[in-house]
Amino acid sequence: MVAMNPPTEQDTRGVRNDIRGLAEPDAEAPKVARIEGGTATFDAADLSPRLVNLELRRLVYGEGVREIRVENPGAKHSIAVGLLARCRITINGSLGYFGATLGDGPEIHITGRVGWSVAENMMSGVVVIDKNAGSLTGAAMRGGDLVVRGHVGARTGIDQKGGTIIIGGNAGSMTGFMMQRGRQIICGDVGPGMGDSMYDGAIYVGGTVAALGVDCVEEELTPDDEELLDRKLGIYRMDRPDTFRKFVCGKQLYNYDNLEPSERKLVL
């Protein structure tokens, strides 16, 4: 057991920091939610991100509530992170950076916009954003569906390892940079450097592509692809562009079987 450092004095804004600078290590859930028939609602306006997350955990794990509504999120960072249970959360407003990240199971609906790195490292579940998103949307995502109805910034699905990212609007530069598996469906236009250094997976684009990145090539759509596009866009009731183009890895940079000179000596 690591001994917990004693919390230092409260600073002028009433925020507690421990000796490592971590905020509120001994905070407890504020217990402000109103629970009615399996549905809980609470106002996040006066709560810190940590208190919002503690309240969500208390409701999901402690009270077993499966439907939660959060009012006035006020573009706070790191809200609804690390939830590892099936539940349905509606966030009525916008989030800052790292919203709905590290989740495994929850269905999260955000009615406003989100900042950078939404749903980063999501394992499974659904995240739906009604407006725009910042850069690094769905970074290192491993599973589940991430839906942005508006536009997204740069590097969407960087290092993506699974799941599906669906964008209703346009995407910025370096979309799908180093993606390793999974799918991206982008209904609008995509910026330069798309699919740069991707290992595997597929990017479907309804609009124009400014420029392809290194080792990203176009491929014919199969009937399976068409079925996937129809199904995914149908689930989230999104307008389907008439035609889609499919982009995959050209595999010209694959050097996995080539041993380093020192390793070759060992094998021989």
**191 lines the binding site for another protein (CB under 8 A):** yes
Q: Two tokens at 144?
A: 């589940």
Report the residue from 65, 87, 97, 212 that binds another protein according to the rule CB under 8 A: 97
Say whether residue 75 binds another protein (CB under 8 A).
yes
Closer residue to another protein in complex, CB, 65/174: 174
93 binds another protein, rule: CB under 8 A: yes
Alpha helices in 26-182 (DSSP H): 49-57
CB atoms within 10 A of CB 135: 20
Q: Does 177 bind another protein (CB under 8 A)?
A: no
Asked if 202 contacts 248 with a C-beta cutoff of 8 angstroms, the reply is: yes
**Residue 86: both structure tokens together:** 């099936």
Contact 109, 94 (CB under 8 A): no
For residue 245, what is the enclosing H or E element? strand 245-249
Report the sign of the C-alpha dihedral through residues 207, 213, 217, 221, in that order.
negative
Of 28-36, 61-69, 169-177, 211-219: span binding another protein (CB under 8 A): 169-177
For residue 206, give the amino acid letter. Answer: G
Length of the chain: 268
Decide: is 153 part of the binding site for another protein (CB under 8 A): yes
Nearer to another protein, 115 or 157 (CB): 115
> What's the min distance (Å) between Cβ of 180 and another protein?
21
Out of 174, 194, 198, 203, name the contact with another protein by CB under 8 A.
Answer: 174
Whichever of 143 and 188 has its CB closer to another protein, that residue is: 188
- Residues 123 to 152: which contact another protein by CB under 8 A? 131-132, 134-135, 150-151
- Within 8 A by CB and 6+ apart from 56, the residues are 68, 70, 80, 83, 89
Q: Which stretch binds another protein (CB under 8 A): 71-79, 158-166, 211-219, 222-230?
A: 71-79
Q: Which of 115, 138, 163, 182 binds another protein (CB under 8 A)?
A: 115
Residue 116 is a binding residue for another protein (CB under 8 A): yes
**Of the two residues 87 and 147, which places its CB atom closer to another protein in the complex?**
147
By beta-carbon proximity to another protein, the closer residue of 77 and 240 is 77
Q: Which is nearer to another protein, 60 or 179 (CB)?
A: 179
List Cβ neighbours of 15 (8 Å cut-off, separation of 6 or more).
Answer: 23, 24, 48
Beta-strand relationship, 181-186 and 202-205? parallel
